[in-house]
Amino acid sequence: MSLKVLSVASEAYPFVKTGGLADVTGALPEALAKHGVKVTTLLPGYPSLRARAGALSEAHSFTDLMGVPARLLMGELEGRSVALLDAPSLFDRQGGPYSDAKGKDWADNALRFAALGKAAAELARGAVPNLAFDLVHAHDWQAAMALAYLKYSDDGARAPPSVMTVHNIAFQGRFGADIFPKLGLPARAFALDGVEYYGGVGFLKAGLQAADAITTVSPTYAREITRAEFGMGLEGLIAARSGVVSGIVNGIAWDDWSPSQDLHLAKTYDAQKLAGRDANRAALESLFGLEPAPGPLFIVISRLTWQKGMDVLVACLDALVAMGGRLALLGSGDAALEDGFKSAAVRHAGRIGVRIGYDEALSHLMQGGGDAIVIPSRFEPCGLTQLYGLRYGCVPLVARTGGLADTIIDANTAALAAGVATGFQFDGMSDERLIHALERVSVAFGDRKAWRGLQRQGMKADFSWDRSAKAYADLYQNLIRGRA
């Protein structure tokens, strides 16, 4: 049975990317194709996408979509089936997908992403002749209103089943009640079981309420968000709908992240030829101005935010250096944290190197040359950098939360004896706990044979999309059969 799925998202690699959401929405369609699922991805018409729109043809037009004219352009881009919402007054502007060049959210984000949702609903309900979809899959708050528009459509057509995936419940798309009259929804939608949320409009909440199935990006995160400390105000709704909630761990683009063929590396290698990592470490040391040393070279590739635990890590840097470690950091975020890491780099010149910003090629080299990647997140729905670390033999040190807990096997005595350990976990976000975890890594690094075993065991782990894509395909099939 071949299924046709409409995936709705605000970003997808390689067309537009601000984070892990794009990696997932970009890689999942190809993986699903192996399981008989054809995915068409609906994206907003950002400048980077409109520049490639020559390969697409107009499939539908809107005279009034949130007050503006718009078109749906469809076709193939770089081997992917794409639908583009061409609404220049909403999306064709300088800056990022969600904010201007200074980082300030676009004032009309509610209308921009409501338009994306409404266009998705009309496409799913047959706006394009001879094109039908079996299911709609919405990703995060920017796409969530698609499910609300499907739910409250009064055209009498039967809506296809739907899946709402939460990549990070902290980002919810909350707006004031004054936006509701502009959304084109019936008055009954402004209700507890609709789009109303604490007196305003909640886009993610609306999608969670309307979806036939809810997924998160790891089983542990699916359980965590039923609790107040992780649910960010939506824990009651998630708990109430727990019967349709599941967690499916993200995969990674296996061929794009392959140390044996990665052109971003100074030298390629595999699990049997780990000595090849030495050339990458040397290149990394040179780029970050680090002096060679016998201790572990820790790396961080992250947004510099409270969620990622970077405030705790920056407080531990003196201890990290004192125990013989070094650090190469690539990231950006809170100005105070950026300053804290830059100050540490000055204080420990040759031991700590910092690059503010993001560089895809450099992130590959860091995984290929670093000894251990540090991910001390307070919460982490899934995480991808620890999976890249496993793939490259860059041993992960992670907080025991969300997808980090699901994907890393702690190097405790039993796991080491059984030969199944792949990294290090720690509980509790504090300087003391993180320093103890860093010390565990440093001690383990001193035993070269045991360390090689950790690296090779991690590199054996299969976090390609194959298993996760099958889980999604099975979910789709079950939902469609349930409607039969």
Read off the pLDDT of residues 453-465 as tens digits, 9 standing for 90 and up.
999 999 999 999 9
What CATH code is carried by the domain that includes residue 48? 3.40.50.2000
Q: Using CA atoms, how far apart are residues 266 and 346, in angstroms rounded to an integer?
A: 27
The secondary structure element, H or E, covering residue 8 is strand 3-8
- How far is C-alpha 11 from the geometric centre of its chain's CA atoms? 10
pLDDT at 472: 97
In sequence order, the β-bridge partners of residue 424 are: 397
Q: What are phi and psi of 337, to 5 degrees?
A: -70, -40
pLDDT tens track for 343-356 = 999 999 999 999 99
**Is 35 contained in some domain?**
yes
Q: pLDDT averaged over the chain?
A: 95
Report the domain count for the chain. Answer: 2
Q: Residues 239, 316: one domain? A: no
Q: Are 251 and 470 in contact (CB under 8 A)?
A: no
Closest to 234 measured CA to CA, from 168, 142, 295, 143: 168
**Is 260 contained in some domain?**
no
Q: Using CA atoms, how far apart are residues 72 and 120, in angstroms rounded to an integer?
A: 10
**Is 345 contained in some domain?**
yes
Specify the pTM: 0.91
Q: Where are the beta strands (DSSP E) in 181-333?
A: 196-197, 200-202, 213-216, 245-247, 297-304, 326-333
Q: Using CA atoms, how far apart are residues 164 and 139, in angstroms rounded to an integer?
A: 6
pLDDT > 70 fraction of the chain, expressed in percent and rounded: 99
Closest to 175 measured CA to CA, from 225, 141, 150, 138: 141
pLDDT beyond 90 at 266: yes
Q: Are 355 and 366 in contact (CB under 8 A)?
A: no
pLDDT tens track for 207-231 = 999 999 999 999 999 999 999 999 9
Q: Residues 239, 91: one domain? A: yes
In sequence order, the β-bridge partners of residue 300 are: 329
Q: Residues 224, 331: one domain? A: no
Query: Could you tell me the residue range of the domain that residue 400 belongs to?
Result: 274-462
Closest to 119 measured CA to CA, from 73, 52, 187, 56: 73
pLDDT beyond 80 at 85: yes
Residue located via tokens 């709705």: 8
pLDDT at 157: 59
At 460 the three-state DSSP class reads helix
Q: Residues 205, 137: one domain? A: yes
Q: Identify the band that residue 19 occupies on the pLDDT scale cut at 50, 70 and 90.
A: confident
Q: Are 246 and 213 in contact (CB under 8 A)?
A: yes
